[in-house]
Amino acid sequence: MTGFRMNDGIERGQPFHFTCDGEEVLAYPGESIAAALLAHGKRRFRTTAQRGGGRGLYCGMGVCWECIMVVDGQPSVRSCMIPAEPGMRVLTQEGHGPADSP
């Protein structure tokens, strides 16, 4: 699946990169992690703890907690609420995150 950004009539700052599951992701200043990942084409941000189902961006405003990811080692970060920063290391969250993994 692919993502895209609207470009017409929009001025942005200097782009930068962070990584998601080791892959380089382009972001512009002010974009949330979730927005940059959507533009990158990512849909599955985490898997559920009980059945391993895929979850992604849902409410987009910090309420539903569906888009939580591991950010710089910290599990359960709402990716829709945190601005992307250069060099951030983001991981798809499996279940409750690293403490939950074997």
Partner 1 sequence: MQDRDETAEITDRPPRDVEIAVVGAGVAGLSAGLFLARQGREVAVFDRGAPWGDASGANAGTLSLQVKRVEVLGLTRFSIDLWERFKTEFGVDVGFAKIGGLRVATNEAEVRHLREYSEEQARHGFRFGWLDGNELRDLAPWLAPGVSAATFCDDDSYVNPLLAGSAIIAAAAKAGARIIGDAEVRGLRHENGAYRLDTAKGSVRAKILVIAAGPWSARIARMLDVVFPFHVDVNMLSVTEPAPFMLDRIVTHIEGILSLKQFANGTVLIGGGWQGRGVFGRMEKDTDNLRLKQNYTVAASILPALKRLRIVRSWAGYEAVAPDALPVFGRLPGRPNAYIAAGARGGMTLGPAQGYLITELIMNKGETSVPIDRYDPARLVERGRA
Please give the structure tokens belonging to residue 14: 């200097």
Q: How far is the CB of 89 from partner 1 (least distance, A)?
A: 21
Binding footprint of partner 1 on the chain (CB under 8 A): 48-50, 65, 68, 76, 95-96, 99-100
Q: Which residue carries 């001025």 as its tokens?
A: 11
Q: Which residue carries 């950010």 as its tokens?
A: 71
Nearer to partner 1, 2 or 101 (CB): 101
Amino acid type, 57: L
Please give the structure tokens belonging to residue 97: 């995150």
> Cβ(25)–Cβ(37) under 8 Å?
yes
Nearer to partner 1, 17 or 48 (CB): 48
Q: How far is the CB of 97 from partner 1 (least distance, A)?
A: 9
Residues in the chain: 102
Nearer to partner 1, 19 or 74 (CB): 74
Q: How far is the CB of 2 from partner 1 (least distance, A)?
A: 30
Nearer to partner 1, 85 or 100 (CB): 100
Please give the structure tokens belonging to residue 70: 């591991």
